[in-house]
Amino acid sequence: MVSVEPGKTYRLRFIGATALTFALLAFEGHDSLTVIEADGSYTQPYNTSILQIGGGQRYSVLLTTKAAPEKSSYFMQVESRDRPSVARSFAVLQYGLKPATKPMNPLTAPLTLPNITRGFLDDLAPLHPSRDFPTSAEVTRRITLTVHQKVSGQTVWLQNAYNWTDSFPQTPYLVALYENTTNTTTNPGLPYPSLERALANNGIDPVTRTFPARLGEVLEIVIQNTGADKGGLDIHPFHAHGAHFWDLGSGNGTFNGTANDASWAARGHQPPLRDTNGVGFWG
């Protein structure tokens, strides 16, 4: 329950604390939400009636309450999308004093939420454009990550046909790299990432199973979600540690760089900095 007063504007922060579930949410009787922040970066105000949020994503929205509410409580409705079944839950936007009895879920959902909108918030713009945003001509290399679920007695997720398996060398990774003692008799199994091997294997070093890069490179990273051996497909969140990236949009099917560049040129603004994006199935 969220207690509010009439005629005021509230900043609401939403966190996608889910694994695979992609969610939609909206407020009964309040069809205007203004997005002002995404993943910790302020944005130009963007009006929408619903919010789509994936695992790990964060948004701030402004909600203005009714000056003369018709009733004392309104439901916030949240629903999952693109899962085997729809999970639906509710919260309450409460005007004035809390009710004497605990609110119950409605017998009939007050809202009819739509299907997922591909490219939702692609029109979102940063509050302050960055001087560091590179043009497509400045891109030095494109790396395509093809994500695939392999089923062979157990479920294994692959990136460019390689899975990640943790190893525990005797010397910590950063210490070994600093002391230049990688892949030695005292510290076996810790080879140094090789850009040469990566360039020969679509960006991935098959020995270290890393994606090395030169300092100062401008990388365009394309993530293709190809699904699973069993034919099942899920929307997948991808999160970057250490720094934010410019999210250049999404779509269905195979990535088309020319069409994507044209789409952004037509928008006339930079994309916002993000650290988590969701890739749709076959997207």
Taking all residues of the chain, what is their mean pLDDT, rounded to a whole number?
A: 84
What is the domain extent for residue 221?
Answer: 136-279
So what's the pLDDT on residue 151? 59
Rounded Cα distance, 249 and 219, in Å: 15
Other Cβ atoms less than 10 A from the Cβ of 74: the count is 22
**Which spans in the chain are helix H?**
173-179, 195-199, 257-267
162-221, pLDDT tens digit by residue? Answer: 566 666 667 776 777 777 666 555 555 567 788 999 999 888 888 877 889 999 999 998
In a domain, 121, yes or no: no
Rounded Cα distance, 186 and 266, in Å: 56
Rounded Cα distance, 4 and 156, in Å: 46
So what's the pLDDT on residue 233? 66
What three-state secondary structure class fits 165? Answer: coil
The answer to whether the beta carbons of residues 187 and 176 sit under 8 Å apart is yes
CATH code where residue 275 lies = 2.60.40.420
Chosen domain end from 45, 68, 95: 95
- Do 149 and 239 lie in a common domain? yes
Phi, psi (rounded to 5 degrees) for 254: -80, 140
- Do 63 and 152 lie in a common domain? no
Number of structural domains (the chain) is: 2
Task: Record the pTM.
Answer: 0.84
Mean pLDDT of 121-150: 85
What proportion of the chain, given as a percentage, has pLDDT over 70?
84
- What the block records as the tokens of 179 is 């002391």
The answer to whether the beta carbons of residues 145 and 152 sit under 8 Å apart is no
Tally of helices (H runs) and strands (E runs) in the chain? 3, 16
In a domain, 101, yes or no: no
In a domain, 131, yes or no: no
Rounded Cα distance, 222 and 257, in Å: 9
In a domain, 19, yes or no: yes
In a domain, 126, yes or no: no
pLDDT band at 40 (very low <50, low <70, confident <90, very high): very high
In a domain, 43, yes or no: yes
- Do 164 and 53 lie in a common domain? no
Closest residue by Cα to residue 148 from 227, 210, 201: 227
In a domain, 105, yes or no: no
- Do 152 and 263 lie in a common domain? yes
Mean pLDDT of 40-68: 95
What three-state secondary structure class fits 138? Answer: helix
Q: Which residue has the higher pLDDT, 172 or 266?
A: 266
- Do 215 and 81 lie in a common domain? no
So what's the pLDDT on residue 53? 92
- Do 152 and 249 lie in a common domain? yes
